């Protein structure tokens, strides 16, 4: 059997997983490296679709994300402890000096637990303490801390639903942040064509009573059979794409290259 090692098996943010038995999952954890991809790693570039493209509104967006599992064997209550780090950057490469408009740094420590029914994995739950900031000072400083709780549900082998909620604290330099990103997000993942193509959608609703929030659509296509590299198309509409301009509307379509967790063969 082939299983993709990533978020939904080892508590990161990848798009691929598969329901497996308790024994097979334990064997998978023993074989898997402790240091792996966390969320998607990608480099994409694109333009706005609500205004005429120019060097001032076109950019490169990239994300680097990895994690370190701290325990090879299960802790009490069959949980696992891990450290994670994600960096998301926005690069105005088409401007004369090619500055970085904003970079968001997101370290985390989490505890995850697999969920089983009749010895078959049907989901997982994780509790994470996180910090996110953009590393700037003065009026451009943006940061917040939060505790997040995630619950992943499997639907057959190719569809998954992720519910993630957070409790924020320590965000006085961007006190209206929650009006734009809310208190959680809902994500749906769908593997197509024997995992050669993947689709996901993530939605957030701001805490304010108006229509603030965001939707991000992703389409991944793997051009080569024996590869964990994908062509990645991303569409983002809404607020909160980055911390510096969380209260500004973003409407972007971008395309590029992504790396997702590689396959691991188990019996």
pLDDT at 118: 74
Per DSSP, what are the bridge partners of residue 190? 159, 199
Q: How far is 240 from 179, CA to CA, in rounded Å?
A: 10
Mean pLDDT of the chain: 86
Per DSSP, what are the bridge partners of residue 103? 89
CB-neighbour burial class of residue 20 (10 A; exposed 0-12, middle 13-18, buried 19+): buried
pLDDT at 117: 78
60 pLDDT exceeds 70?
Answer: yes
Mean pLDDT of 85-105: 95
CB-neighbour burial class of residue 144 (10 A; exposed 0-12, middle 13-18, buried 19+): buried
Mean pLDDT of 46-64: 94
State the SS3 of 144-191: EEEEEEEEEEEECCCEEEEEEEEEEECCHHHCCHHHHHCCEEEEEEEE
Which one has a higher pLDDT value, 162 or 72? 162
Cα pseudo-dihedral 16, 22, 26, 31, rounded to 10: -50
121 pLDDT exceeds 80?
Answer: no
Residue with the two structure tokens 């209206």: 176
Per DSSP, what are the bridge partners of residue 250? 238
Residue-wise pLDDT tens digits, 160-217: 999 999 999 887 778 899 999 999 999 999 999 877 899 999 999 999 989 899 999 9
Superfamily of domain 2-265: Phospholipase A1 (2.40.230.10)
Residue-wise pLDDT tens digits, 210-230: 989 999 999 999 998 878 899
Mean pLDDT of 32-61: 92
**DSSP state letter for 262:** P
Q: How far is 42 from 242, CA to CA, in rounded Å?
A: 16
Mean pLDDT of 36-40: 92
pLDDT at 96: 86
Given a contact cutoff of 8 angstroms between Cβ atoms, the answer to whether 63 and 39 are in contact is yes
Q: Identify the H or E element spanning 12.
A: none
State the SS3 of 99-112: CEEEEEEEEEEEEE
Q: Which of 104, 111, 98, 109 is nearest to 86 (CA)?
A: 104
Express as a percent the part of the chain with pLDDT over 90.
Answer: 62
φ and ψ of 49, to 5 deg: -110, 10
Q: How far is 243 from 202, CA to CA, in rounded Å?
A: 18
Q: Identify the H or E element spanning 226.
A: none
Domain-wise residue ranges, the chain: 2-265
35 pLDDT exceeds 70?
Answer: yes
pLDDT at 5: 37
Lowest mean pLDDT among 78-82, 147-151, 173-177: 173-177
154 pLDDT exceeds 60?
Answer: yes
Which one has a higher pLDDT value, 114 or 89? 89
Residue 203, Cβ neighbours under 10 Å: how many?
A: 16
Confidence of residue 264 (pLDDT cuts 50, 70, 90): very low
pLDDT at 151: 95
Confidence of residue 33 (pLDDT cuts 50, 70, 90): confident
């Amino acid at each position: 059997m082939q299983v993709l090692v990533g978020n939904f098996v080892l508590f990161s943010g990848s798009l691929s997983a598969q329901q497996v038995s308790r024994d097979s999952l334990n064997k998978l954890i023993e074989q898997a490296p402790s240091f792996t991809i966390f969320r998607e790693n990608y480099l994409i570039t694109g333009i706005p679709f609500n205004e005429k493209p120019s060097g001032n509104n076109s950019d490169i967006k990239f994300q680097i994300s990895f994690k370190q599992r701290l325990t090879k064997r299960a802790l009490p209550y069959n949980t696992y402890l891990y450290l994670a780090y994600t960096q998301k950057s926005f690069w105005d490469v088409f401007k004369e000096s090619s500055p970085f408009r904003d970079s968001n740094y997101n370290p985390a420590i989490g505890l995850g637990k697999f969920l089983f029914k009749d010895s078959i994995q049907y989901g997982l739950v994780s509790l994470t303490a996180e910090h996110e900031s953009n590393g700037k000072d003065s009026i451009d400083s943006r940061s917040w801390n939060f505790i997040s709780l995630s619950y992943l549900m499997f639907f057959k082998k190719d569809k998954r639903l992720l519910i993630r909620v957070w409790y924020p604290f320590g965000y006085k330099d961007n006190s209206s942040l929650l009006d734009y990103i809310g208190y959680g997000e809902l994500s749906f993942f769908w593997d197509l064509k024997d995992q050669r193509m993947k689709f996901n959608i993530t939605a957030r609703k701001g805490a304010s009573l108006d229509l603030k929030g965001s939707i991000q659509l992703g389409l991944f296509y793997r051009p080569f059979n024996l590869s964990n590299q994908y062509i990645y198309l991303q569409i983002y509409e809404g607020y909160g794409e980055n911390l510096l301009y969380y209260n500004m509307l973003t409407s972007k379509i971008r395309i590029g290259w992504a790396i997702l967790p590689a396959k691991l063969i188990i019996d």
